[in-house]
Amino acid sequence: MAPRKRILSGMRPTGRFHLGNYFGAAKNWVELQDEYECYYMVADYHGLTSQPHADSFERDLIDLAADMVAVGVRRDLIYLQSSVPEVAELFLLFTMVTPYGWVQRVPTFKEMARQQPDNVNMGLFSYPVLQAADILLVKGDAVPVGGDQDAHIEMARETARRFNRVYGKLFPEPATLRTSTPKILGTDGKQKMSKSLGNIVGVTAEPEVIRKQVLSMVTDTKRVYKSQPGHPKSCNVDSLYKVFFPDDWEHYWELCRKAEMGCLEKKQILAERIVETFAPFREARAELSDEAVKGILARGSERAREVAGGTVTEARQAIGLLPPL
């Protein structure tokens, strides 16, 4: 049997796990984890680009790892980026083969710089170089991500290609594995769901929190009175019905179109469905102590380091560096 292909993906610890994290990434990770050899990472170095507070950061990264486990990611596959410091060395080596112009062109840099104009740091600028190092450190063949990461994965491919051309073939060119669920919008119905925008709906959060978040969702703005027919096609609540009621969303869309169900009721039903759907995740999350999560990260990071050490040794050799003396 041919060896399984290797995949790597990561998430930044930016606060409690939400629908966008789950449907945009983690659900797909779970689906792929037996078919591929997987490395799933808590990208804490990347998280530092937005300078989180030290106290809440530790909380956030433990929470993220715990949530990954709770939603079904296999514990042995999860690791902590900064516990595999080899990535920092590979990143440094990659900066020497990465033209300035490539990084300048990445659209996410401009977007992040706009979000934090007072803190446009070098880490933000070189973000995709570090991401390329994450992926190529384990010689990933593919990366399961949402569409917002396209430019980053493309740069990882270009980095592999350039390194291989200059120093001899060492890295595969990682493919993108697209997540099948469409992009999940935030409760504002306009922007991508994101903790920093305050528009999230939690996954492992307490039922009360989830209810409050769902009830805060912006609905069909063209529908002022309950007696008016709604426009489910352009309503964010209805797009979540497609996700949470895969078999009978059309029934609910009809009720909305015929003005037989109001927006508030629709949100209440949705909230209960979300609470119920994620109940097993919430229970699994409650059983994980911080110590247990740290143990999981320690073992996963050790596994990742075994591969990482070999790759860095090969890269140093290819470049003409001596082994550390």
Residue 43 binds ligand TRP (CB under 6 A): yes
Size of the site for ligand TRP (CB under 6 A): 14
Stretch that binds ligand TRP, among 3-11, 51-59, 164-172, 201-209 (CB under 6 A): 3-11
Q: Name which of 145 and 275 has its Cβ closer to ligand TRP.
A: 145
Residue 135 binds ligand TRP (CB under 6 A): yes
Cβ count near 288 (within 10 Å): 18
d(Cα 135, Cα 174) in Å, to the nearest integer?
8
Residue 60 binds ligand TRP (CB under 6 A): no
The least CB distance from residue 43 to ligand TRP, in Å, is 4
Task: Give the residue closest to ligand TRP by C-beta.
Answer: 10
Residue pair 145/108 in contact (Cβ under 8 Å)? The answer is no
d(Cα 30, Cα 68) in Å, to the nearest integer?
9
Residue 131 binds ligand TRP (CB under 6 A): yes
261's tokens: 């169900």
d(Cα 218, Cα 234) in Å, to the nearest integer?
11
d(Cα 176, Cα 154) in Å, to the nearest integer?
8
Stretch that binds ligand TRP, among 4-12, 208-216, 227-235, 276-284 (CB under 6 A): 4-12
Residue pair 148/121 in contact (Cβ under 8 Å)? The answer is no
Q: Which residues contact 151 (CB under 8 A, 6 or more apart)?
A: 105, 106, 107, 108, 128
Among 6, 7, 11, 184, which residue interacts with ligand TRP (rule: CB under 6 A)? Answer: 11
State residue 76 phi and psi, 5-degree precision. Answer: -70, -10
The least CB distance from residue 313 to ligand TRP, in Å, is 21
Q: In the window 151-180, what residues touch ligand TRP (CB under 6 A)?
A: 152
The least CB distance from residue 12 to ligand TRP, in Å, is 5
Residues, the chain: 325
d(Cα 255, Cα 237) in Å, to the nearest integer?
13
Q: Name which of 11 and 185 has its Cβ closer to ligand TRP.
A: 11
| Residues engaged in binding ligand TRP (CB under 6 A) | 8-12, 43, 46, 131, 134-135, 143, 145, 149, 152
